[in-house]
């Protein structure tokens, strides 16, 4: 299969899951780039961030807003935190070996998954 079709499929799946669950696209995009396209960890993270720079969630956000399911103040405050946090997160991560970054990310995904399974809410 063409890598371009794989990339489009990754985007569609990440978009659907993002619209359904409000998850960041990177949660899907980074592992998919690593596993399906054999991309190095830091390249996958950088590519994911570049893909998410445009307002990719805009249409989904508009739909949630139209249906009365959005707190604009909270969204603005989270966005401000993201703006600062992404900068420091990139600096911290790029200062460590890719294997360490990949393991930390895997533990994060595992903890979140287990919490969701156990909490059941």
Task: Let me know: does 33 contact 48? Beta carbons within 8 Å.
Answer: yes
| pLDDT of the residue at 120 | 67
| pLDDT of the residue at 121 | 57
Per-residue pLDDT of the chain (121 residues; tens, 9 = 90+): 899 999 999 999 988 888 877 777 788 899 999 999 999 989 999 999 888 877 778 888 899 999 999 988 998 898 898 889 989 999 999 999 999 998 998 898 899 889 888 986 5
| pLDDT of the residue at 59 | 87
Residue with tokens 């059941």: 120
Task: Let me know: does 98 contact 41? Beta carbons within 8 Å.
Answer: yes
Domains contained in the chain, number: 1
> Cα separations (Å) of 119 from 110, 113, 116?
14, 10, 5
Give 3-state DSSP helix, strand, coil % of the chain, rounded to 5.
80, 0, 20
Domain that holds residue 79: 3-119
């Amino acid at each position: 299969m063409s890598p371009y079709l794989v990339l489009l499929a990754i985007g569609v799946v990440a978009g659907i899951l993002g619209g359904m669950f409000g998850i960041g696209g990177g949660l899907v995009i980074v592992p998919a780039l690593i596993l399906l396209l054999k991309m190095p960890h830091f390249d996958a993270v950088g590519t994911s961030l570049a893909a998410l720079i445009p307002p990719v969630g805009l249409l989904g956000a508009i739909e949630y807003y139209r249906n009365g399911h959005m707190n604009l103040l909270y969204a603005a405050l989270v966005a401000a935190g993201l703006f600062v946090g992404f900068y420091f997160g990139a600096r911290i991560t790029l200062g460590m070996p890719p294997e360490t970054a990949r393991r930390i990310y895997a533990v994060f995904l595992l903890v979140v998954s287990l919490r969701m399974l156990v909490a059941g809410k």
